Chains A and B, each alone.
Chain A
């Protein structure tokens, strides 16, 4: 265990070790009892019968429902994160601009879209494309999901960029100006590349948020993993097993992404470049939680 937690208690002596052992046994029994009750309740309602789970051995279940659903989720997340990174960098640069109108406009945009729920932006975008632009057909839900996620996540990434630039030593900017670069060129050529590198772990964590939020596309009929799972479940009558499988898929992918973010962070720290980066835990942010409030606080939700 880590140093900051171990300081809460002494290294256990013989008596404490016995006590901890007893607590551990009682505690594990308690946790196991809770799990057992849950499993028994599910089993009593017939959720563990072969009939409920056998669809997952059937390749058709995967090729017709789960994999297309996963693909739809990944496609939406991919387009959203790419667009959000592009818009986020532009907005972040706008917030750092020398021109006050640009700064104020970008600031208002970022603050507004950070305080509006993603689901509302998705609904708005969906109906705007439908009624305003007369778009219909298969592309419509995807457009709605990507637009909603992009609005929200570009504001988050803009804040990450701003925090990243803010954490660079002042000498970087001064050096850029001293060799005759304009403020904009200093930002573009000196500060931004470093800020983006610093913020890379947070940007990877943001992908977890995007993936989770893409499940909101359910409400605008986007055939992502949760909706295609529900279609499957209503066909086979195995809602709970299907949700368990879908949750497992999400957990595995997102866990691997979080590990990737940690790995990138360690790699960057090993390079010992610049100040220790303020890693903003954006996974907490989304409706996943993403936060309002000061981004300067790690663990924003």
Chain B
């Protein structure tokens, strides 16, 4: 068993695959946070059109499989329509990576928006009322008073989104990005006799990635929670 393990680690670059998983996670998390915050603000805005657009985004994206969204980006926009992100001459694996990140960001933005909205709901009404009472308008109420508290109240659900995102990066294996589950498929196909060890390594990799995240966000949400 130890021999099988060392053979596998010598033959396959497991660390590189998990490095790709981490890169996908970080890039998509930034995109999802930005997009999700915009959608969350739209959902609480005084203008009905924005509220409707925000709700439509969340409803549509949440109910579509991530696989389909990623395919839409990679096979639809990139392969079929020949759109490229960034440099026109960048190689296909870079393009697949970027479109994969975009798909992940679009999908998880809906969940970020929901997490933030639940965070906004933890802010007592008195906070917004007090902000309005001292003459702040909607933008100032939201950006100076409500959102800073909402982000702190939303840390636990945002952490859950990040953990889910980490696991969901495996979906871009379907468009050939060489991350962990893509490598796992290749490894099992070449060494089916070592299937248990291979699954063990890869599963352990995700436990190592997600477990500290869970602990970190739980402790952050406790420490940063607004004391009421």
Chain A residues with a Cβ under 8 A of chain B: 1, 3-5, 7-10, 12, 16, 20, 23-24, 27-28, 31, 41-42, 45, 47, 112, 115-120, 123-124, 127-128, 130-132, 208, 211-216, 218-219, 226, 230, 239-240, 243, 246-247, 250-251, 254-255, 258, 281, 283-294, 297-301
Contacts and interface: CB of A to CB of B under 8 A. Distances in A.
Nearest to A127: B188
A293 B115 contact: no
B133 to A, nearest CB: 10
Contact of A28 (B49, B71, B180): B49
A127 B169 CA distance: 21
The 5 closest A-B pairs by CB, nearest first: A289-B164, A254-B63, A215-B65, A291-B160, A131-B192
Nearest to A21: B47
A8 B160 contact: no
Contacts of A118: 167
B47 A27 contact: yes
B174 A120 contact: no
10 contacts: A8-B146, A42-B81, A115-B207, A120-B184, A120-B203, A212-B63, A219-B173, A255-B63, A289-B164, A291-B160
Interface of B: 43-44, 46-51, 53, 59-60, 62-68, 71-72, 75-76, 79-83, 108, 111, 114-115, 118, 120-121, 125, 128-129, 132, 137-138, 141-142, 146, 156-157, 159-161, 163-165, 167-168, 170-171, 173-174, 180-181, 184-185, 188-189, 192-193, 195, 199, 202-203, 206-207, 210-211, 213-214, 217-218
A293 B81 contact: no
B2 to A, nearest CB: 21
Nearest to B129: A7
Contact of B108 (A115, A215, A246, A289): A289
Given A120-B199, A254-B62, 13 more contacts: A4-B120, A5-B43, A5-B44, A119-B181, A120-B184, A120-B202, A124-B188, A127-B195, A239-B79, A250-B65, A289-B168, A293-B214, A294-B214
B202 to A, nearest CB: 6
Contacts of B67: 215-216, 218, 226
A230 B217 CA distance: 39
B160 A226 contact: no
Nearest to A292: B163
Contacts of A5: 43-44, 120
A219 B185 contact: yes
Contacts of A120: 170, 180-181, 184, 199, 202-203, 206
Contacts of B214: 292-294
Contacts of A297: 156-157, 160
Contacts of B53: 27, 31
Contact of B46 (A8, A132, A285, A301): A8
Main secondary structure of the interface of B (DSSP, over half): helix
A41 B167 contact: no
B224 to A, nearest CB: 14
Nearest to A290: B164
Main secondary structure of the interface of A (DSSP, over half): helix
B194 to A, nearest CB: 10
Contacts of B157: 284, 297-301
A117 B173 CA distance: 12
Nearest to A294: B218
Given A255-B63, A284-B114, A115 B206 contact: yes
Contacts of B129: 7
Contacts of B49: 24, 27-28, 31
A231 B224 CA distance: 50
B218 A41 contact: no
A208 B63 contact: yes
A149 to B, nearest CB: 13
Nearest to B192: A131
A243 B72 contact: yes
A301 B163 contact: yes
Given A117-B170, A243-B76, A291-B160, A9 B141 contact: yes
A7 B142 CA distance: 11
Contacts of B217: 293
A239 B68 contact: no
A259 to B, nearest CB: 11
A124 B207 contact: no
Nearest to B60: A251
Contacts of A9: 46, 132, 137-138, 141
B211 A115 contact: yes
A112 B80 CA distance: 39
A240 B131 CA distance: 48
B185 A293 contact: no
B156 to A, nearest CB: 4
Contact of B65 (A116, A124, A288, A290): A288
